Structure 1
Amino acid sequence: MWEVFAVKYAENTGRRRRNHFIVQDDLHDTPHPIFYYVWAARRGNQAVVFDTGFARDLAASRGATYERTPAEALAAIGIDAASVRDVVITHFHYDHAGGIGAFPNARFHVQDAEMAYATGRCMLHAHLRKPFLCEDVTALVRALYDGRLVFYDGDAEPWPGIRLLRIGGHSAGLMSARIETEDGPVVLASDAAHFWETLAGEPFPIVYDMRAVLEGYQRLIRAAGGDANRVVPGHDPAVIRRYPSAGPGLAGVAARISGAAT
């Protein structure tokens, strides 16, 4: 079985509900912070990392407070980024695919559809390319030419107990992951569900395929055995509070994900 962790590296407390939900309501202008995480699954000496975050120099332009690099966040739970062999890039948006250079010995696991999307004609449209950074996509193309990319076309189980789920919707090749732990399955949604509220049908404004987004919520919950509390949203501040700390001194930095959130 795997141990699963969420590690926080940045936050933006200046965001409002109107920034995060398409459907506006009477609360649309109330504060709605967003936290930035990377995730890891560990079994013995093996670690699989999910996403690589964004670089410190982007924080100011994005209105974010940068607390630590993703590599530093992983080090807090005993994972050395330079030694990691496998990194899943759930999608190529700037806050998930930046800084792959911190993982010099890793292979990067991606979807065919995401590479085609990020390097194809859709990027002619400013609205669609806004969440991407050319340098991040270019770094992944370089990794491809170095033989360090592993491609999937749909769902896959690269490691026993970790199943990658192609959800799409928010981005063309977005992946989530169903991971077996001692306390049952947990599902790392990444941006298939930004917040627990999202699972109730409140879509995030950045959308590639709305049907895939909405059906993705149902699929995430099914993958979690019907329990939405076993789905770990990609950006919800409550993740770091609702799961126990990963160790002494790590409150607010790293949470141990197992079973359902309290």
Structure 2
Amino acid sequence: MTEATLPEYEVYALRYGTRDAKRANHFIGGDPHDAPMPMDYYVWLVRGNGKEFVVDTGFGPEVAAKRGRTLLRHPAEALAMLGVDVTAVSDVIITHLHYDHVGTFDSFPVARFHLQDDEMAYATGRHMCYRQFNHGYEVDEVVGMVRMVYKNRVHFHKGSAELAAGLSVHRIGGHTHGLQCVRVHTKRGWVVLASDCSHYYEHFEKKRAFTTVFHVGELIDGYSKLDMLADSSDHIVPGHDPLVMQRYVAPSARLEGIAVCLHEAPLV
């Protein structure tokens, strides 16, 4: 299939949570500017060619309270605003197993979960003995995903894999050992959902590293991989930047501040 005949998907970012933070929280080595740098939390929807793929499943109220995060709306509620019935979704891509990316997976009773081999090995292996690596995981969620393996509901990938025409996953690593991004063909070209391959625009633009990281070298190298996969830097969507909500248009006035259309060209 040539690029001209590939399906053109709609892609949405849905903001479901937020927290206050400072710039020094987000960069290895800190930052000379003692300024606020809040963090937003997203799930994503890819829709088109008769298919719906949900990318990540966020966290729910219990973990929000435990970790001091502001839950604006349950991820399932946000998806419902775009007409998604989570009880019927057949495919969920889990970029990695951190609490804010896999936390409500049990809201998807029939879905199969797309995950990298390396992420499951990492989340259940020797490095979880150390706080530096394990603090982003919730044990019950990791165990829950292991249970999904035994129910034949986890589809493992090793590196890059095409899930449908014009939709693929790519192992990047760095932040966690098995972190993957998602590449989607849209009417404006190839869009890359970076998830935590780049938390903020500033990370990939200035080649800086987030503070939670397994392999700094892989993380920095990953920015070049994102560049190669996307049609331009304007086609890379970071995983936690509040600027995403400012740079893209909402699908309707009702969804202002909740969802934006990543298949449309950015406003700025």
Using the size of structure 2 for normalisation, the TM-score is 0.94
Q: Offset at 1:260?
A: 4.3
Structure 2 Cα separation of the partners of residues 142 and 11 of structure 1: 29
1:195-223 deviation digits (Å, cap 9, x = unpaired): 00011212100111111100101111121
Q: Which residue of 1 aligns with 2:18?
A: 11
Q: Which residue of 2 aligns with 1:54?
A: 59
Q: Offset at 1:38?
A: 0.2
Q: Which residue of 1 aligns with 2:103?
A: 98
Structure 1 Cα separation of the partners of residues 213 and 131 of structure 2: 13
Say whether residues 1:206 and 2:212 are aligned partners: yes
Q: Which residue of 1 aligns with 2:229?
A: 223
Which of 171, 175, 187 lines up with 1:182 in the alignment?
Answer: 187
> Counterparts in 2 of 1:79-158, with a 5 A limit?
79-158=84-163
Q: Which residue of 2 aligns with 1:250?
A: 255
Q: Offset at 1:65?
A: 1.3
Q: Which residue of 1 aligns with 2:169?
A: 164
Q: Offset at 1:56?
A: 1.0
Which of 23, 32, 36 lines up with 1:26 in the alignment?
Answer: 32
The number of residue pairs the alignment matches comes to 259
Structure 1 Cα separation of the partners of residues 48 and 131 of structure 2: 41
Using the size of structure 1 for normalisation, the TM-score is 0.96
Give the letter for the 2:10 counterpart.
Answer: E
Question: Do the aligned partners of 1:186 and 1:260 also contact (CA within 8 Å) in 2?
Answer: no
Q: Offset at 1:241?
A: 1.4
Report SS of the residue matched to 1:114.
Answer: helix
C-alpha RMSD of the superposition: 1.1
1:42-94 deviation digits (Å, cap 9, x = unpaired): 01541000001011122233222111111001011111111100000000001
Q: Which runs of 5+ in 1 are unaligned?
A: none
Q: Which runs of 5+ in 2 are unaligned?
A: 1-7
Q: Which residue of 2 aligns with 1:233?
A: 238
Give the letter for the 1:131 counterpart.
Answer: G
Structure 1 Cα separation of the partners of residues 45 and 248 of structure 2: 15
Give the letter for the 1:110 counterpart.
Answer: L
Structure 2 Cα separation of the partners of residues 238 and 36 of structure 1: 12
1:151-178 deviation digits (Å, cap 9, x = unpaired): 0111000111011110000001100011
